[in-house]
Amino acid sequence: MRNGDQPFVAGVGNETHGGRSTTGFTILFTSSLSLAQTILHGDIGFDQIVWFGILSLFGSYAVTWMINYFTRLYGRESIILYSISFVVFLALIVVPAYGVVRL
């Protein structure tokens, strides 16, 4: 595999485990900062944080289980890529629509 074909963290010499840890921390850090900014701006209350936090926890475990199940059932890891593409496409539609409705 050429250096250009690898993810950035692997291309600079990090192993897969370190790359996953770095990526996970970056996602957690940026989402926490976004949540803090939203709270400080007053757009969301504590009861909503708890409610959506619990829903997100159960939803993430359910989706992870479902994707693992179908990946093992069909033996195709491309299901993961299709799932991520679907979520990104859905967000591409829902986020601007929500912004327009909120205006």
> What does the domain layout of the chain look like in residue ranges?
3-76
Report the predicted TM-score, pTM, of the whole model to 2 decimal places: 0.56
Spell out a b/e string for 41-59, using b for 16 or more CB atoms within 10 Å of the CB, else e: eeeeeeeeeeeeeeeeeee
Please count the residues of the chain: 103
What is the per-residue pLDDT for 73? 92
Q: How far is it, in rounded angstroms, from Cα 101 to Cα 19? A: 38
What is the per-residue pLDDT for 40? 87
Task: Per-residue pLDDT tens, the chain, 103 aa: give them.
Answer: 455 555 555 556 656 666 667 777 888 888 888 888 888 888 888 888 889 889 988 998 998 899 889 889 998 888 888 888 898 999 999 989 988 988 7
What is the per-residue pLDDT for 18? 61
